[in-house]
A and B are shown apart, each in its own frame.
Chain A
Amino acid sequence: MNESFSFEPERYELAAGPLYQFDLKLDLHRRRFFELLGGGLAVLLLTEDSDAQESGFGRRGSRGGQRPAQISAWLHVGDDGAVTVFTGKAEVGQNIRTSLAQLVAEELRAPLTAIRMVMADTQRTPFDMGTFGSRTTPDMGRQLSRVAAAAREALIDLAAEHFQCDRQSLRAADGKVAQTDSSEAIGYGLLTRGQQLLKSVADDQTTTPAERWNVAGTSVAKLNGRDLVTGAHKYASDVRRPDMLHGKVVRPIAFGATLAEVDLGAAEAMEGVTAVRDGDFVGVAAAEPLTAERASEAIRAVWNTRPQSSSETLFDDLRKDASEGGGRFGGRNVGSIEAGLAAADHQWKQTYTVAYIAHAPLEPRAAVAEWNDGKLTVWTGTQRPFGVRGELAQAFGLPEDRVHVIVPDTGSGYGGKHSGEAAIEAARLAKAAGRPVKLVWTREEEFTWAYFRPAGVIDVTSGVRRDGTLTAWDYVNYNSGGSAINMPYEVANQRIAFRPSRSPLRQGSYRALAATANTFARETHLDELARLVGLDALAFRHQNLKDARMRAVLEAVAEAFGWGGAKPDAEHGHGIAVGTEKGSFIASCAEVRVDRQTGAVRVVRAVAAFECGAVVNPNHLKNQIEGALVMGLGGALFEQIEFANGVIRNAAFSGYRVPRFRDAPRIEVVLIDRKDLSSIGAGETPIIAIAPAIGNAIFDATSLRLRSMPLALNG
């Protein structure tokens, strides 16, 4: 057990090989599929090199000269006309259950109501690396579109046989195939009746261009919305199993603490309590949650701890402990920084910092674990069902096919639920108790034992000419990460480096990764340079930007916001920022009001323009962008994890301030719908430009330049 609790903190890249290597010979799988499905038509997408790479499947192997392939998505049309789509992606509030179904309905020419999505279940859905990196729309969306298009073509083939006619005279629409020259039509269900057809998607399978979309591209309502507003939906924390117990873990008193001694006696003496010690893991299970809590409190544990650093010295520590860098974002050198600085009229050197922040998903980590005949089933909220299956298999020494992970639509993640701690803990307790165990982390546990968005220090030295031309860009990011670290503006001389450091806290993915930190530093610095040369912040950006898509969002946001317009009074300020990450583009404007007496900062208005190719669901996309702005506002203004000596000092919503109703500004979102471009994910990038827009607006209002996020901890 020790090992499982000390696994490497998840960082920015997850490495794992494919878990399945299916043969291309579909016949081998026919029986398995139709045992499961009871006839009909099944269409599989077997990923080849390009798809596999884009899906992040990583290395590939081959067996005996055969080319292995892997099922990455599939759908089934039953003889009742019902369409079931199988994908390993998890719904965590980003609305992919709906958007993926829209893409399938579009290609299949089937009503949305006929489509059922089976998601994130390691026994029923194909392997998937995880739901992160904004990959669902560009990868799974495209894959499922192709699967559905292939299914439609197969159904037309079946109809051609049925009608004994040329398939060119047939047209699929509304769940039926109809003859174009008569009123004859046959439903998909009838077409697949008695069939056991297994097809794979042809390499050249095309999909419908976005210009011709009817269902995709529209603001369809959330498919399972009713279950969410009635409380009927069962999140992982809501799952109940027969004879289930409730678990509670005895936590170490500090990070990295080891168990010196423990006395389980008092807990074991309590009626119906199972107490477990396994390495440094200590926990209990009981029928009533309160009993488990009391039993955990009755356990006497002595921990060995070591001195650890604190928030106060964080940024010095990150600099001091930095490595030289390397990896994907190891560095970029163009021209000569020295020459660039020499050519500048102004040189500007500043340092920016970002704090550790917590994802604080409203549903904390939760799992229900159940053992049957040496097989383990776990319901848990995670963005990586197959990754958690791997963690469980490793923790308990099981082959992966004896572990079944089921992920109900989850109470959010924001990049914070890549790991399976609660699943492992619940499974360990269930194993000891011989009964299913539910474990729901407390808010304090979630704030302490999950992982954090990395803190970082960013040094920027730049050169700019009087006319606004950028001449040098020397940029080092310590620890926070390399996402969006590259310079989107034109600069002849660049030196860019990410230097990983030794993080005092467990750190990992967070919505948009380091793109928020890097965009904050860059866009704040750009604002400073614009002021230095006396140019308008928008004009200065346009002068140095060539990328047409980036310019387009900048123009759109400026127009919607009314950039350059009047402010109500001297307490108000306007700020603007732009960024790009993961292939999409965001520009944000903020209007803030800073109270001169109290220093309180209020964002009164936020406007964003976003472009992510062809929009699949405009209303849901707007909702994502609005949410990202609000969440980004929290990190910008007041979210910060405080720690000392291995302990989180503000592990509660009363100590860690997140955005609330009072903080939510009026929001306007402009979507740039590029139907000529393929659809890109949108759950992350909209968060990256709001912090510098707010910071720049604060400067506009106060002439006070803030370079550390959070900008107004007590504001």
Chain B
Amino acid sequence: MARIKELNVNGQRRTLDADGQRTLLSALRDNLGLTGTKYGCGEGQCGACTVLIDGSPNRSCLTSLDDVGGRAVTTIEGLERDGQLHPLQQAFLDADALQCGYCTSGMILSAYALLQTKPAPSEEEIVHAMNGNICRCGTYRRIMAAIQQAAEKMEAIAS
């Protein structure tokens, strides 16, 4: 069976040696040590494993390495730039939009993808885009507030 030797993660070419049928989630966590991406359900129902592939949100627990190929993978570890948190990361802190934090990586990446396509999302658009992500601690309203705060900040930076 095919072995995967290389992945494009957070703008870097990363080498590994893994069975192509393995999940992207497992390769990120177990081979590359990028444990910010979490396992939550293995069936694409909770969103904890969300990463971006070529900018689109993807459930890494359902994505095989064979399917990833050379496409660009972005994980939570790739958002911070030069010690500066991404506005979404900062907004999650400012809004205290987490408790145990286990869902946070997936939340932030799902929100990141949303803001790429809808820079100023309405409440309904946030609910629609984020409904596949579970926060068992129940901080949903704070996450919605954080996304809106980040959107405003990103818009201010862009303009």
A92, A630, A652: the one contacting B43 at CB < 8 Å is A652
Cβ contact within 8 Å between B103 and A620 = no
Cβ contact within 8 Å between B75 and A231 = yes
Tell whether A240 pairs with B33 under 8 Å between CB atoms, given A228-B104, A288-B19, A620-B96. Answer: yes
Chain A nearest CB: distance from B43 CB in Å?
6
Tell whether A627 pairs with B137 under 8 Å between CB atoms, given A222-B93, A229-B85. Answer: yes
Residue ranges of B at the interface with A (Cβ–Cβ < 8 Å) = 18-19, 21-22, 26, 29-30, 33-43, 45-46, 48, 75-77, 79-80, 85, 89-90, 92-93, 96, 98-105, 108, 126-127, 130-144
Binary contact track A607-636/B, C-beta < 8 Å → 1, others 0: 000000000000110011011111100000
Cβ contact within 8 Å between B142 and A363 = no
Tell whether A443 pairs with B41 under 8 Å between CB atoms, given A221-B93, A659-B138, A661-B127. Answer: yes
Cβ contact within 8 Å between B39 and A623 = no
Tell whether A226 pairs with B93 under 8 Å between CB atoms, given A235-B102, A661-B127. Answer: yes
List the B side residues contacting A361 at CB < 8 Å.
100, 102, 136
List the B side residues contacting A652 at CB < 8 Å.
41, 43, 45
List the A side residues contacting B21 at CB < 8 Å.
290
A442 within 8 A of B: yes
Binary contact track A78-94/B, C-beta < 8 Å → 1, others 0: 00000000000000111
Q: Which residue of B lies closest to A228 (CB)?
A: B101
Residue ranges of A at the interface with B (Cβ–Cβ < 8 Å) = 92-95, 221-222, 225-226, 228-235, 237-238, 240, 246, 288-291, 360-364, 409-412, 414, 440, 442-443, 619-620, 623-624, 626-631, 652-654, 658-664, 666-667
6 A-B pairs closest in CB distance = A231-B36, A93-B100, A630-B138, A411-B102, A228-B101, A231-B76
Cβ contact within 8 Å between A660 and B137 = no
List the B side residues contacting A664 at CB < 8 Å.
138, 140-141, 144
- Among A221, A237, A288, A362: residue with most chain B CB under 10 A: A362
Tell whether A230 pairs with B43 under 8 Å between CB atoms, given A240-B33, A361-B136. Answer: no
Cβ contact within 8 Å between A628 and B136 = no
With the chains together, A43 CA to B19 CA distance in Å? 53
Cβ contact within 8 Å between A654 and B35 = no
Chain A nearest CB: distance from B121 CB in Å?
12
Cβ contact within 8 Å between A623 and B142 = yes
Cβ contact within 8 Å between B18 and A288 = yes
Cβ contact within 8 Å between A93 and B101 = yes
- Among B48, B89, B130, B136: residue with most chain A CB under 10 A: B136
Cβ contact within 8 Å between A661 and B42 = no
Cβ contact within 8 Å between B134 and A658 = yes
Chain B nearest CB: distance from A234 CB in Å?
7
Chain A nearest CB: distance from B139 CB in Å?
6
Cβ contact within 8 Å between A362 and B100 = yes
Tell whether A653 pairs with B101 under 8 Å between CB atoms, given A221-B96, A231-B36, A627-B138. Answer: no
- Among B35, B36, B102, B144: residue with most chain A CB under 10 A: B102
Cβ contact within 8 Å between A229 and B104 = yes
With the chains together, A411 CA to B41 CA distance in Å? 13
Cβ contact within 8 Å between A362 and B40 = yes
Tell whether A411 pairs with B101 under 8 Å between CB atoms, given A289-B26, A653-B134. Answer: yes
Q: Which residue of B lies closest to A656 (CB)?
A: B45
Cβ contact within 8 Å between B39 and A653 = no
Cβ contact within 8 Å between B141 and A626 = yes
With the chains together, A664 CA to B134 CA distance in Å? 11
A225, A629, A661: the one contacting B126 at CB < 8 Å is A661
With the chains together, A402 CA to B48 CA distance in Å? 35
Cβ contact within 8 Å between A661 and B130 = yes
With the chains together, A364 CA to B77 CA distance in Å? 22
Cβ contact within 8 Å between A362 and B22 = no
Subset of 6 A-B contacts with CB under 8 Å: A93-B99, A231-B36, A288-B19, A409-B101, A661-B127, A661-B144
Chain A nearest CB: distance from B133 CB in Å?
7
Q: Which residue of A lies closest to B35 (CB)?
A: A238
With the chains together, A228 CA to B97 CA distance in Å? 11
Cβ contact within 8 Å between B136 and A658 = yes
List the A side residues contacting B133 at CB < 8 Å.
660-661
With the chains together, A168 CA to B6 CA distance in Å? 68
With the chains together, A664 CA to B145 CA distance in Å? 13
- Among A226, A231, A442: residue with most chain B CB under 10 A: A231
A229, A234, A410: the one contacting B35 at CB < 8 Å is A234
- Kindly list 17 other residue pairs between chains A and B, CB separation below 8 angstroms, not including A226-B93, A237-B35: A95-B99, A221-B93, A221-B96, A226-B85, A229-B108, A231-B37, A231-B77, A235-B38, A238-B29, A290-B26, A363-B102, A409-B101, A443-B41, A654-B43, A658-B136, A661-B131, A662-B131
B22, B38, B76, B102: the one contacting A290 at CB < 8 Å is B22
Cβ contact within 8 Å between B99 and A623 = yes
With the chains together, A663 CA to B130 CA distance in Å? 12
Cβ contact within 8 Å between B22 and A289 = yes
Q: Which residue of B lies closest to A366 (CB)?
A: B39
Tell whether A362 pairs with B77 under 8 Å between CB atoms, given A412-B102, A627-B139. Answer: no
With the chains together, A97 CA to B8 CA distance in Å? 36
Cβ contact within 8 Å between B26 and A230 = no
List the A side residues contacting B89 at CB < 8 Å.
229-230
With the chains together, A442 CA to B126 CA distance in Å? 29
List the A side residues contacting B141 at CB < 8 Å.
626, 664, 666-667
With the chains together, A591 CA to B22 CA distance in Å? 47
Chain B nearest CB: distance from A321 CB in Å?
31
Q: Which residue of B lies closest to A91 (CB)?
A: B100
Cβ contact within 8 Å between A230 and B77 = yes
Cβ contact within 8 Å between A626 and B139 = yes
Cβ contact within 8 Å between A363 and B77 = no
Chain A nearest CB: distance from B31 CB in Å?
9
Cβ contact within 8 Å between B22 and A653 = no
Tell whether A412 pairs with B99 under 8 Å between CB atoms, given A289-B30, A363-B38. Answer: yes
A95, A222, A288: the one contacting B30 at CB < 8 Å is A288
With the chains together, A664 CA to B22 CA distance in Å? 35
A410, A620, A660: the one contacting B100 at CB < 8 Å is A410
Cβ contact within 8 Å between A229 and B33 = no
Q: Which residue of B lies closest to A413 (CB)?
A: B100
Chain A nearest CB: distance from B60 CB in Å?
13
With the chains together, A410 CA to B93 CA distance in Å? 18
Cβ contact within 8 Å between A290 and B19 = yes
Cβ contact within 8 Å between A412 and B136 = yes
Cβ contact within 8 Å between A660 and B131 = yes
